[in-house]
Chains A and B, each alone.
Chain A
Amino acid sequence: MSTSGFLTRHLARPLYFTLVLLTTVFCLSLLSVAIQDGGLSALELVLLILYAILMLWISASFWTATIGFLLLAFQRLPGERVAPTAEPVSGDDFKTALVMPVYNEDPERVFAGLRAMCDSLVATGKADGFEFFVLSDTREPDIWLQEEQHWRRWSEELGDRVPLFYRNRVENTARKSGNLADFCRNWGGRYRYMIVLDADSIMSGETLVEMVRRMEADQRLALLQVPPVPVNRSSFFARMLQFAGSLYGRLFVAGLAFWQQDTANFWGHNAIIRVRPFADHCGLPRLPGREPFGGDILSHDFVEAALLARAGWKVQLAPDLGGSYEEIPPTLIDYAKRDRRWCQGNLQHARLILAHGFKLLSRLHFAMGVMSYAASPLWLLFLIATGVEAYFKSLQQPVYFFGYNIMPIWPESYVVEMTTVLWVTLALLFLPKLLALVLLALDRTEAARFGGLLKASLSVLLESLMSVLLAPVLMLFQSKFVAAILLRTSVGWPTQQRSDHQTGVLEALGAHGVHTLIALAVGYVTYVKVPDFFWWFTPVLAGLVLSVPVSILTSRTSLGLSLKRAGLFLTPAETEEPQVLHRLEERLAEPSPAIAAPVEAKAFWIRAIMNPRVYALHDVLLHDEPQTRRRRHILEGLVLQLQDEGEDSLSLREKRALLSHREGLHLLHTRLWAAPTLETQSHHANG
């Protein structure tokens, strides 16, 4: 090991944590000077504690980005680079599975993504030894049948060149982690590695090959996470996040890799995993107690990384590997819905922070996961406490003459200190954005990929302004989610839509109406009671008051595309579209397999199962079971219920039951074709 390598290895973490702590202490001392006039009240103590926690969070993020900046500036690591492959990566010796767990996802997008990756992999000439595996946990009958059609179509086309496998799990126990565990239990012995993908993941063939090469090069490496870059969305909101993710993300990733080293984290997808240690150590238990903190471990990725690290395996982040992409929610409301799903899983990690045996850094990952959602209610509390403190201060009348003093004693002003606190906090929040621009200024080629330095600077400015408006809205959303989870109540939001769509007025009013009302009420009270504080508070209030129009406006794809034409929020994935993303577009443009069936106002799955081709394919993918009279009676009852009372009378489970047994399927197909009303309908249509 070289001297610099030794120093980096042993000094990285002490350096990072020292910087974080010193920054926090410094900011805390500034605030304590500003608020401590005449002792420390209970409220001021609360303020200081909240500020200390929040500053730890902010400065950790700040120093990660700053270190990342320094690394990139001095090492000149480009954001999108794939190291050349020096050795053969696969062949007869071992196989790598590309596993994509899916749950009621758009099948067209799922299979188009896989096909694009497959094309890219074949283009490398090193596709041997790779196999694709769709691990479906889909419950919706419509989507289940469509997945099978897509699988059949693509597997026929691929033949034996790159095997494409598909299975639909009978019971979706333990959700995604259970899905992966089921794969390992049944087919894990077939593969040395598995590359875990999300339904919206895209990875280039070169990156896939390189990931395997790196795993082969280090036999103690169990998991290599390749950071995904957000792509492919057109709305203003999503393009803004894509720009931020592409420009600032690389700083953070480089910084994270610097201090996390061999105890990095698993982000759930776009990572390669050594299958055997994963099977040996990553079976997840149910946590004792009831939800939200008990039951199945929801955010499994952090825990799996921690378990691998606990067992002595390396978990690394690959900041220099590009060709890894994901798609993000298109609107602010969808983004919040995704947060709602992730929030509970992350809060559950609070129980694991002090669990026995985990490495210190794994505990830190758990804590940071908790903080990524707990920070919002803490900010909210901090704002409330600041407002209350300001109100009490406003009640105090200055006393100019004490005792026998002839000269007046002027009250001390802490405006300078408070302003310093504010500016330091803002600097920590916004400096990484400037550092990212500096990095672009150092590399003109890279700047051109972001639309040029000027356009990129304008985009950063616009993004910063928008983030000021969006931050209070997300703060209220996340605070509500945290409160709902802690109070064990449901916030009742439907499934998130992944594809581009736009927010309507009613939807925006439903989601943000309360935010606006809160802002108006709080604004009025502070303006009347503490007018000085009101002006400090306006950035937060503005975001909330404008949340409805901002949410609608940022969801507009037309606006996003106009900004793209104007050269704003451009990302390297847009200016130099990678081949794999181009293939994805082409694959998505291809027509879907049509399903011909007699029409009626029936659900897709019923019409599809009437099609003998769909029926026969679904039947062949089911397992044969011994017939029992009781089961037949139940299935007959369900078919009768469907025919007499309509498809809405069946629950999702009952629909699945009909489609999950050959007997039920045969009964359904036959009875649907024997319906007396069939001939009165027009005969064929595409489903």
Chain B
Amino acid sequence: MGAGVIDQLDILETPVPSAWSSPEDHATVERRVRLYLNALGVQDPHEIEVLLRRVIERVEFRARLGQLGEPLEVSIEETLRLLDRWLVDELGLDSDPDQISAARAAVLGGHVPGWTGRWSGLNKEPLAESIRAVRFRAVPERAPLTMEPSIIRLCCHHMLRRLLARIGRLLGLWGQRHSTLEVRP
């Protein structure tokens, strides 16, 4: 085993600094989730507080299970998961990744007014129809045609080789016909 690999293995033996144990850790994660929620489009302080609480609960749950890893990363993951979970419930989806992705793009793209209130549970009006109405049809239905490469028969391509082959055939050295005339796919 090389020295480079041993150096990397040393990193594994270095004690991991404890995370999620101090109030500073909690504060850092909360700040980051607020920032991220803002970027998602959640501006209302009440909505932020509700959603923040739910995210932190999920992060704490992961910590209790020992699956915390990097708290900041887990908090962002859980925020997105919370959003996806809500979209699945709101639209009655069956976890189809394409449908969830489209629904996520619809709300984050700002096409569904009031979605953050509905996500946080402060707004009771269903939004399924509005979300479904937003379409991301980048391409139409496939309508395939066959398009095979054409054959172009070059002139004088491998002329010397063909000439030798012909002489060979005349002399009976080769029985098979060698043809390299056509440019095929």
Contact mask B141-172 → A, CB, 8 Å, 1/0?
Answer: 11111111111111111100000000000000
Q: Does B88 contact A (CB under 8 A)?
A: no
Q: What CA separation (Å) do A666 and B76 show in the bound complex?
A: 11
Contact A620 B77, beta carbon cutoff 8 Å: no
How far is B108's CA from A189's CA once the two chains are assembled, in angstroms? Answer: 34
Question: Would B154 and A284 count as touching, CB distance under 8 A?
Answer: no
Assess the B140–A611 pair: CB atoms within 8 A: no
**Residue A351 at the B interface, CB < 8 A?**
yes
The answer, among B137, B139, B150, for a CB contact under 8 Å with A284, is B150
- Which of B41, B143, B155 lies in contact with A355, CB distance below 8 A? B155
Q: Are B140 and A674 in contact (CB under 8 A)?
A: no
By a CB distance below 8 angstroms, the chain B residues around A131 are 140
The residue of chain A having its C-beta at the shortest distance from the C-beta of B36 within the complex is A673
Q: Is the CB of A279 within 8 A of B183?
A: no
Would B152 and A352 count as touching, CB distance under 8 A?
yes
Are A185 and B140 in contact, with the CB atoms below 8 A? no
Partner of B31, one of A186, A671, A673, A679: A679
Bound CA–CA A163/B135 (angstroms): 12
Give the docked Cα–Cα distance between A276 and B143 (Å).
12
Shortest distance between the CB of B90 and any CB in chain A (Å): 16
Q: Is the CB of A279 within 8 A of B138?
A: no
- Chain A residues with CB under 8 A of B109: 152, 613, 616-617
- Asked if A167 is at the interface of the complex by the 8 Å CB criterion, the answer is yes
Least CB distance from B19 to A in Å reads: 11
Q: Is A307 an interface residue (CB 8 A)?
A: yes
Instruction: Give bound CA distance, A69 to B14, whole Å.
Output: 85
B140 touches A285 (CB 8 A): no
Give the residue of B76, B142, B147 whose beta carbon is less than 8 angstroms from that of A674.
B76
Taken together as a complex, chains A and B put the C-alpha atoms of A190 and B142 apart, in Å, by 8
Q: Is B98 an interface residue (CB 8 A)?
A: yes
Q: How many residues of B contact A (CB 8 A)?
A: 52
CA distance A125 to B161 in the complex (A): 61
Nearest opposing residue in chain A for B77, CB measure: A670
Whether A187 contacts B142 by the Cβ 8 Å rule is yes
Q: Which of B1-57 contact A (CB under 8 A)?
A: 28, 31-32, 35-36, 39-41
CB distance from B8 to the nearest CB of A (A): 12
Chain A contact residue count (CB 8 A cutoff): 60
Q: Given that A186-B144, A670-B73, A673-B76 are known contacts, is A283 also in contact with B149, CB under 8 Å in the complex?
A: yes
Q: A276-B145, A279-B146 are in contact. Are A285 and B152 (CB under 8 A)?
A: yes
Q: B125: CB under 8 A from chain A?
A: no
**B131 CB within 8 Å of chain A:** no
Known: A671-B73, A683-B35. A188 touches B145 (CB 8 A): yes
Report the separation of the CA atoms of residues A281 and B185 in the bound assembly, to the nearest whole angstrom.
13
Give the CA-CA distance A670 to B70 in the complex, in Å.
11
Contact with B along A613-638 (1 / 0, CB 8 A): 10111011100100000000000000
State the Cβ distance, A89 to closest chain B Cβ, in Å.
20
Contact bitstring B70-106, A, C-beta under 8 A = 1, else 0: 1011011100100000000000000001100110110
Q: Quick check: B31 and A279 within 8 Å, CB to CB?
A: no
Contact pick for B157, options A163, A166, A188, A288, CB 8 Å: A288
Q: Is A217 an interface residue (CB 8 A)?
A: no
A675 nearest in chain B by CB position: B72
| Least CB separation from A188: chain B residue | B145
- CA of A276 to CA of B145, assembled, Å: 8
Contact of A613 among B108, B157, B181 (CB under 8 A): B108
Q: A166-B139, A167-B138, A620-B105 are in contact. Are A279 and B147 (CB under 8 A)?
A: yes
B64 at the interface (CB under 8 A from A): no
A621 touches B138 (CB 8 A): yes
Tell whether, in the assembled complex, residue B35 and residue A190 are in contact, meaning their CB atoms are under 8 Å apart: no
**Cα distance, A158 to B136, chains bound together (Å):** 13
- Bound together, the chains give a CA A188 to CA B144 distance in angstroms of 6
A674 touches B144 (CB 8 A): no
Contacts of B183 in A (CB 8 A): 285-288
B68 CB to nearest A CB, Å:
12
Minimum CB distance partner of A284 in chain B:
B149
A381 to chain B, nearest CB (A): 24
B110 interface residue per 8 A CB criterion: yes
Bound CA span A188–B138, Å: 16
> Out of A284, A616, A662, A671, which one reaches B105, CB within 8 Å?
A616
| Set of chain B residues within 8 Å of A620, measured between Cβ atoms | 98, 101-102, 104-105, 136
B32 CB contact (under 8 Å) in A151, A280, A679 = A679
> Which of A181, A617, A621 is within 8 Å of B147, CB to CB?
A181
B184 interfacial contact with A, CB 8 Å:
yes
CB-based contact A670/B145 at 8 Å: no
Query: Looking across the interface, which residue of chain A has its beta carbon closest to that of B28?
Result: A679
**B108 x A612 contact (CB < 8 A):** yes
Contact of A84 with B by CB under 8 A: no
Most chain A CB atoms below 10 A, which of B70, B101, B185 = B101
Asked if A670 and B80 make an inter-chain contact with CB atoms under 8 angstroms apart, the answer reads yes
B150:A282 contact, CB within 8 angstroms: yes
A151: nearest chain-B partner, CB-CB? B138
Closest to B146 in A: A279
Partner pick for A354 among B28, B98, B155, B184, CB 8 A cutoff: B155
Which residues does chain B contribute within 8 Å of A621, judged by CB atoms? 136, 138
Closest residue of chain B to A187, judged by CB?
Answer: B143
CA distance A613 to B72 in the complex (A): 20
Q: Which A residue sits closest to B104, measured CB to CB?
A: A616
A482 within 8 A of B: no
Between A181, A670, A679, A683, the greatest number of chain B beta carbons within 10 A of the residue's beta carbon is seen for: A670
A357 to B142, CA, bound (A): 34
Known: A166-B139, A351-B154, A597-B39. 10 other contacts (CB 8 A): A185-B144, A185-B145, A283-B148, A284-B150, A285-B150, A619-B105, A620-B102, A674-B32, A674-B72, A679-B32
Q: 6 A-B Cβ contacts within 8 A?
A: A165-B137, A190-B140, A284-B150, A285-B150, A617-B109, A674-B32
Question: B residues bordering A, Cβ < 8 Å?
Answer: 28, 31-32, 35-36, 39-41, 70, 72-73, 75-77, 80, 97-98, 101-102, 104-105, 108-110, 136-158, 180-181, 183-185
A residues in contact (CB < 8 Å) with B: 131, 151-152, 163, 165-167, 181, 184-190, 275-276, 279-288, 303, 307, 351-352, 354-357, 596-598, 610-613, 615-617, 619-621, 624, 662, 666, 670-671, 673-676, 678-679, 683
In the complex, the 4 A-B pairs of residues with the closest C-beta atoms, listed nearest first: A189-B143, A188-B145, A354-B155, A674-B73
